[in-house]
């Protein structure tokens, strides 16, 4: 039998040290990690439980909000300041998973949840993310739930998180602590594109611990919206989703932020689409043009061509809602 | 005080919610070892090598059994359908993905799980074929086994081609239902325990203990009497536990080989392929009608998938033979062989998938003729069976239509598609006819009156979670003249009197009839004992005059009790065994249950998401034994219809021939949020012909027509006709 060492970290330092050992993994809610361990997809030799660390606080500040790494998805979604100042974040969280899962899933765990690619999760198939260089059965397989943006010839696994889509649009930063100290990672840099190394998923050094996520408060953030389209009304991953944040002044868009989910190998932001929106009047045609731009580089596969149009419409819907709220 | 009909709560409900109820895998068996299957990732080919060395070295591992070292089964591995051809590690062929190729047996579940992972399988793979569309040129007809009877694959009544030629309006369309997987909450599980070299006990999650008994007896070439099978509780089955599959034999084989009791449970992922599923069907429906809607021709042809090594036919076109008055009806069933596990009956097999096609086509016809869909059905109302010319044993479909339309508010349906909205969403309404055979198979029971005046009744049937324990006690109580509390009904044991498979909505009808007759006979016997006994106050009374209520026998102002009768007869339980079986009378009729389904949907005009906001179903199921459990069954069927219409799909990777939607996150069934208001209602019927209990069964009827009603509502809402299920947002963009 494979032995797995379990360690409950008493302090952040202890956690960082413990996780610097080979084949270690942090354990938060376990809803992604333990699931994949049961499927023998992730096989850490040591799990370092971080749930007892003093990292679960949600701290509103004047310039934004700090979300502790171990704050649960439920707690963040229900927090009055999150609902008031970052509605898209609350909406995104509530649209994900189920109440039971959200009650244990954490901010950091959600950031780092693994793809739901069915091939990644099935040892009987080839997967470059699971075993680098093995090949990919997904690309020519069942691709309905795969990425149309950001894929490579090695991997088109979809990034699954809803929360991350909102955080991408809200331009959060991720604060981490490692053996070499602390640092901030801009949200857009945290998730890596698969490229030739789909097994590398996050911009973290071995053993680096996410301690909190900071979300800056803006006028646009307060009117942010999240729209998610899925096969089942709840408890299903996104076919397409979109988080938008707009600030409108004198009938013109002053600030525009958006990110798409359900379409990319990471939460997908289109700076070009955002730029197009700025200065324009918030109208259906404006939104449609921006959506066309955001999806311009889409590379659909056999089963997911519909995502191009669906993502555009989802984006238009979210922009419309944001504009109405503005 | 009658019990039958009352909405009593399930007698096993408390045991289930408190965890006291032991499901098959939970039975404690001292010394049990754990078996974990290794299944094939290849869909078609041959095993070249199985390296078990690493697995065998693991501590606690008792055996890694593969086709190389598995004991050879001395007997026959398969019998008559619904028995299935199974793979029990007897040869090196690989016939479908997820086929068992080895089993790891260890002293703990964890060690067995790990050992299974260490087994290295090398296989020679050939490209699989898994889509019906790709194999249509090799389709062939095959007899259908449905409701315990063989039926012809084809039927022709009148001349459909001429009917089509002479019609004013024609609909000719193809419809498709994808492969689906039952996905009950409780996975398949078997415990096998050899009491002697030729004597074995099994606890199995099964819909039919006698099938398990027979299969094991045949495979191991031992007498049936030496195989004892028990199934006390089942956490859902829906057909996929109706035939003992490979793992049942493998559990018994492994137990024999390691010389210890063995427990085997499938993982959720292993349930996709190995234990059946609804096969994909491609169906062609042609309808021809006169201007007034009168059908001139009805043709329904279904082609369904089966495996390379066995045949299951999804009887999708059977209902077309019976439900509309049409002079020219033609039906055909074809199957194609694919590299998949053998499909099997899945809740309302044939009637659910077939009604999607037929009832969608009826809706298309109504639209083409600018007729109300309900009016079209009434126009073609069959007073007698149109194909066989027989009367129906009973039929209250007209009342179902009327009552359903009234309760649903059908008159508010917008006649023009895409013409009504509610809060920015497109609103649509649809309806469909539901029909399901009122099956009845031979069943037997034993009833005993105990000295304390309570009764014990048994039949080797199954409670799938449907309420068998409860409703049989109700039937027995009324037949005996006892309060419900004084009856204990037990089931799920192959040493009890034989009962048919708990499937095809026939348990209440068949076992209910057996219990009714057996308890009636016991009552009769006790009354006779009383009147013949000089010590009884009833001595000398005529048996016909004796009434029994609440355990008290009364005639001519005198009375006796069951308890006293038994006591005076020697304190030993008084027992009667009897059975019920369909007779000649039933053959004079077409025995069907009917209903009418109505659905309202709201569709996002831009994003394509569909929400079923309301469903009303009115069903005529003969006698209702328990208003609560019957309603739950119908409601469950209607909810299943939401899944069938919008969600369920076992998605194959076409290259690998493997189901990739292989857990409940990817294989979608409805959650609470998907289910709006669901209202099932009954029209009770007095039916003396269908079976002694007068019951038609409700387990499947609620699903029949449900997917079509929803698809028709989607058309009404959007103007888009979706002929391939499930109706996911991408299809409505
Ligand atoms: C059935 C199902 C449905 C779901 N549906 C959705 C959905 O619709 N939308 C959605 O967005 N999500 C969905 N999820 C995913 C869910 O949101 C994630 O599983 C959850 O957020 C992960 O959080 P966790 O705390 O349980 O993480 P864990 O499983 O504990 O950890 C996940 C990863 O994060 C790492 N990690 C955890 N904490 C830290 C830390 N502080 N620093 C560094 N690394 C860390 C772990 O090592 C691991 O690699 C679903 C999950 C399931 C099982």
Taking CA atoms, B649 is separated from A59, B581, B646, B668, in Å, by 44, 38, 9, 7
Q: A242 pairs with which residues across the strands?
A: A227, A260
**Has residue A73 been placed in a domain?**
no
Give residue B382's Cα distance to chain centre: 26
* Nearest residue to B198 via CA among B215, B219, B214, B221: B221
A236 contacts B606? CB cut-off 8 A: no
Residue A53 CA: nearest ligand 1 atom is 41
A164 in contact with ligand 1, CB cutoff 6 A: no
Distance from CA of B653 to the nearest CA of A (A): 6
What percent of chain A shows pLDDT beyond 90?
98
Mutation probe of ligand 1 site: the residue of A30, A113, A238 with most atoms within 8 A of C-beta: A113
The secondary structure of chain A in percent helix, strand, coil, rounded to multiples of 5, reads: 30, 25, 45
Q: Which of B55, B125, B666, B722 to mutate to test the interface with A (most CBs of A within 10 A)?
A: B666
Helix B706-718 with B627-646: angle, nearest 10 deg:
50
Q: For residues B122 and B130, what is the distance between their CA atoms, to the nearest angstrom?
A: 22
ipTM: 0.97
Ligand 1 close to Cβ of residue A237 (< 6 A)? yes
Q: Is B38 left (phi over 0), alpha (psi -120 to 50) or beta?
A: beta
- For residue B269, count other CB atoms closer than 10 A to its CB: 17
For residue B623, give the nearest of B689, B579, B578 by alpha carbon. Answer: B689
Structural domain containing residue A32: 5-48
How open is the CA angle B367-B372-B377, to the nearest 5 degrees? 100
List all residues 6 or more positions away from B717 whose beta carbon is below 8 Å from its beta carbon. B417, B418, B420, B426, B427, B428, B601, B602, B603
Q: Chain A, 278-317: which have a CB under 8 Å from a chain B CB?
A: 306-307, 309-310, 313-314, 316-317
> A106 in a domain, yes or no?
no
Chain B nearest C-alpha distance from A109 (Å):
18
For chain B, domains (ranges, CATH) are 31-127+185-237+241-271 (3.30.365.10), 136-180+277-439+588-732 (3.30.365.10), 441-581 (3.30.365.10)
pLDDT at B1: 67
Domain assignment present for residue A282? The answer is: yes
Chain A residues whose beta carbon lies within 8 Å of the beta carbon of residue B660: 118-119, 122, 141-142
The answer to the question of residue A238 being in a domain is yes
Distance separating alpha carbons of residues B680 and B631, to the nearest angstrom = 6
3-state secondary structure at position A293 = helix
Atom in ligand 1 nearest the alpha carbon of residue A238: 8
Report how far residue A76's alpha carbon sits from residue A58's, in angstroms, rounded to the nearest whole number: 7
Contacts of B646 in chain A (CB under 8 A): 231-232
How buried is residue B223: exposed, middle or buried, by Cβ count under 10 Å (0-12/13-18/19+)?
exposed
Burial status of residue B48 (CB atoms within 10 A of its CB: 0-12, 13-18, 19 or more): exposed
Helix or strand run (H / E) with residue B635: helix B627-646
Please give the number of the atom of ligand 1 that sits closest to the Cα of A237: 8
Q: Is the CB of A239 under 6 A from ligand 1?
A: no
List the CATH number of the domain containing A43.
3.30.43
Cβ–ligand 1 contact at A113 (below 6 Å)? yes
Last residue of a domain, one of A29, A48, A67: A48
Nearest CA in chain A to B643: A232
DSSP letters of B104-163? Answer: EEESSHHHHHHHHHH-EEEEEE------GGGGGGG-B---EEETTEEE-S-EEES-HHHH
Low-confidence ranges of chain A (pLDDT < 50): none
A125 in a structural domain: no
Q: List chain B residues with CB under 8 Å of A313.
A: 606-607, 733
Is the Cβ–Cβ distance between A247 and A220 less than 8 Å?
yes
In a domain, A24, yes or no: yes
- Rounded-to-integer distance, Cα A317 and Cα B412, Å: 30
Alpha-carbon distance of B538 to B520, in angstroms, equals: 19
Q: Do A310 and B609 touch (CB under 8 A)?
A: no
> From CA A289, how far away is CA A309, in angstroms rounded?
12
Per-residue model confidence (pLDDT) at position B360: 98
- Ligand 1, residue B665: give the atom nearest the CA: 1
**Given CB atoms, is A62 within the 8 Å cutoff of chain B?**
no
B700 belongs to the catalytic site? yes
B116 → chain A, closest CA residue = A1
- Of B59, B660, B668, Cβ closest to residue A232: B668
Q: Which residues face A84 on adjacent strands?
A: none
Distance CA B248, CA A310 (A): 46
Q: Domain for residue A138, yes or no?
A: no
Q: What are phi and psi of B55, to 5 degrees?
A: -65, -40
**Average pLDDT per block of 10 residues along chain B, 733 residues long:** 93 96 97 98 98 98 98 93 95 98 98 97 97 97 87 97 97 98 98 98 98 98 98 98 98 98 98 98 98 98 98 97 98 98 97 98 98 98 97 98 98 97 97 97 98 98 97 98 98 98 96 98 98 96 96 96 96 97 95 98 98 98 97 98 98 98 97 96 97 96 98 98 98 97
Q: How many domains does chain A have?
A: 2
pLDDT score for B702: 98
CB B709 within 8 A of CB B353: no
| Identified catalytic residue from B330, B351, B364, B700 | B700
What tokens were used for A102?
């959200």
Residue A326 has a pLDDT of: 60
Q: Is B456 helix (H, G, I), strand (E, B) or coil?
A: strand
Looking up residue A320, the CATH number of its domain turns out to be 3.30.390.50
Q: Are A91 and A223 in contact (CB under 8 A)?
A: no
CB contact under 8 A, A122 and B110: no
| CB environment B456-493: b (16+ within 10 A), e (fewer) | bbbbbbbbbbbbbbbbbbbbbbbbbbbebebbbbbbbb
**Nearest-CA residue for atom 13 of ligand 1:** A97
Q: What is the pLDDT of residue B147?
A: 75
- Separation between Cα atoms, residue B37 and residue B245, nearest integer Å: 13
Q: Would you say residue A208 lies in a domain?
A: no
């Amino acid at each position: 039998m494979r032995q797995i060492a379990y360690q409950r970290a008493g302090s952040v330092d202890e956690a960082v040290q413990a996780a610097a050992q080979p084949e270690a993994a942090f354990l938060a809610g376990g809803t992604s990690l333990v699931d994949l361990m049961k499927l023998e997809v992730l096989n850490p030799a040591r799990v370092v439980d971080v749930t007892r660390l003093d990292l679960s606080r949600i701290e509103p500040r004047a310039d934004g909000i700090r979300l502790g790494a171990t704050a649960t998805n439920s707690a963040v979604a229900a927090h009055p300041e999150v609902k008031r100042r970052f509605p898209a974040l609350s909406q995104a969280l509530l649209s994900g998973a189920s109440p039971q899962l959200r009650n244990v899933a954490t901010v950091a765990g959600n950031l780092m949840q693994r793809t739901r690619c069915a091939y990644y999760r099935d040892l009987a198939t080839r997967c470059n993310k699971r075993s680098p260089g093995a090949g990919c059965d997904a690309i020519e397989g069942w691709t309905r739930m795969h990425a149309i943006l950001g894929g490579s010839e090695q991997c088109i696994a979809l990034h699954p998180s809803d929360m991350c889509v909102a955080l991408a649009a809200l331009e959060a930063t991720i604060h981490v602590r490692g053996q070499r100290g602390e640092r901030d990672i801009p949200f857009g840099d945290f998730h890596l594109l698969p490229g030739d190394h789909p097994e590398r998923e996050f911009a973290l050094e071995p053993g680096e611990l996410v301690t909190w996520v900071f979300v800056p408060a803006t006028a646009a953030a307060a009117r942010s919206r999240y729209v998610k389209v899925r096969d089942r009304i709840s408890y299903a991953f996104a076919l397409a989703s979109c988080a938008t944040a707009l600030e409108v002044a004198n009938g013109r868009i002053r600030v525009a932020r958006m990110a798409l989910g359900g379409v990319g190998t990471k939460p997908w932001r289109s700076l070009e689409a955002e730029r197009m929106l700025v200065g324009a009047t918030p109208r259906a045609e404006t939104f449609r043009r921006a959506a066309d731009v955001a999806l311009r580089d889409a590379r659909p596969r056999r089963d997911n061509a519909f995502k191009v149009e669906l993502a555009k419409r989802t984006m238009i819907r979210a922009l419309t809602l944001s504009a109405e709220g503005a | 005080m009658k019990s039958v009909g009352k909405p009593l709560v399930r007698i096993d409900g408390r045991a289930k919610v408190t965890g006291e109820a032991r499901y098959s895998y939970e039975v404690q068996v001292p010394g049990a070892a754990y078996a974990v299957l290794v299944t094939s990732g290849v869909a078609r080919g041959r095993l070249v090598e199985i390296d078990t060395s690493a697995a065998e070295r693991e501590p606690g591992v008792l055996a890694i059994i593969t086709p190389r070292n598995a004991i050879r089964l001395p007997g026959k591995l398969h019998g008559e359908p619904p028995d299935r051809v199974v793979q029990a590690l007897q040869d090196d062929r690989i016939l479908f993905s997820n086929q068992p190729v080895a089993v790891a047996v260890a002293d703990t579940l964890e060690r067995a799980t790990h050992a299974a992972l260490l087994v290295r399988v090398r296989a020679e793979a050939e490209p699989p074929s898994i889509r019906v569309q790709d194999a249509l040129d090799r389709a062939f007809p095959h007899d259908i086994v449905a409701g315990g009877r063989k039926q012809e694959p084809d039927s022709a009544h009148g001349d459909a081609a001429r009917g089509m030629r002479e019609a004013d309006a024609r609909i000719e369309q193809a419809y498709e239902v994808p492969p689906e997987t039952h996905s009950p909450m409780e996975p398949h599980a078997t415990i096998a325990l050899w009491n002697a070299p030729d004597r074995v006990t099994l606890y199995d999650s099964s819909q039919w203990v006698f099938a398990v008994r027979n299969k094991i007896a045949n495979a191991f070439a031992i007498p049936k009497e030496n195989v004892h099978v028990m199934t006390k509780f089942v956490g859902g089955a829906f057909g996929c536990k109706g035939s003992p599959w490979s793992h049942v034999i493998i559990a018994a084989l492994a137990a024999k080989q390691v010389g210890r009791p063995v427990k085997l449970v499938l993982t959720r992922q292993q349930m996709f392929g190995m234990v059946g599923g609804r096969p994909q069907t491609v169906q062609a429906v042609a309808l021809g009608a006169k201007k007034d809607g009168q059908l001139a021709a009805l043709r329904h042809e279904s082609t369904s998938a089966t495996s390379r090594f066995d045949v299951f036919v999804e009887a999708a076109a059977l209902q077309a033979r019976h439900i509309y008055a049409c002079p020219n009806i033609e039906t055909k069933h074809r199957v194609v062989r694919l590299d998949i596990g053998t499909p099997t009956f899945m809740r309302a097999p044939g009637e659910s998938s077939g009604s999607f096609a037929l009832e969608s086509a009826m809706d298309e016809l109504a639209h083409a003729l600018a007729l109300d869909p309900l009016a079209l059905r009434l126009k073609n109302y069959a007073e007698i069976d149109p194909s066989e010319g027989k009367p129906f044993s009973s039929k209250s479909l007209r009342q179902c239509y009327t009552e359903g339309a009234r309760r649903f508010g059908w008159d508010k349906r917008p006649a023009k598609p895409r013409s009504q909205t509610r809060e920015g969403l497109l609103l649509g309404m649809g309806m469909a006819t539901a029909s399901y055979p009122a099956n009845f198979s031979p069943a037997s029971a034993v009833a005993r009156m105990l000295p304390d005046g309570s009764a014990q009744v048994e039949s080797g049937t199954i409670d799938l979670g449907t309420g068998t324990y409860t409703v049989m006690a109700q039937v027995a109580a009324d037949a005996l003249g006892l309060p419900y509390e004084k009856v204990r009904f037990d089931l799920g044991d192959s040493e009890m009197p034989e009962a048919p498979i708990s499937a095809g909505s026939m348990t209440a009808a068949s076992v209910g009839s057996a219990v009714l007759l057996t308890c009636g006979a016991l009552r009769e016997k006790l009354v006779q004992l009383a009147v013949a006994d000089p010590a009884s106050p009833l001595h000398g009374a005529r048996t016909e005059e004796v009434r029994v209520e609440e355990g008290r026998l009364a005639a001519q102002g005198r009375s006796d009790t069951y308890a006293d009768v038994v006591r005076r007869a020697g304190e030993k339980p008084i027992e009667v065994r009897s059975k019920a079986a369909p007779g000649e009378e039933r053959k004079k009729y077409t025995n069907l249950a009917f209903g009418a389904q109505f659905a309202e949907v709201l569709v996002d005009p831009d994003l394509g998401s569909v929400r079923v906001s309301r469903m009303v179903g009115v069903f005529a199921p003969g006698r209702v034994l328990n208003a609560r459990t019957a309603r739950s069954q119908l409601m469950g069927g209607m909810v299943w219809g939401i899944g069938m219409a919008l969600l369920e799909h076992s998605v194959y990777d076409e290259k690998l021939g493997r189901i990739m939607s292989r857990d409940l996150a990817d294989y979608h069934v409805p959650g609470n949020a998907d289910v709006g208001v669901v209202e099932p209602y009954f029209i009770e019927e007095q039916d003396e012909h269908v079976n002694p209990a007068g019951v038609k069964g409700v387990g499947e009827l609620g699903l029949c027509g449900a997917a079509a009603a929803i698809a028709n509502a989607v058309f009404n809402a959007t103007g888009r006709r979706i002929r391939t299920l499930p109706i996911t947002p991408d299809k409505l963009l």
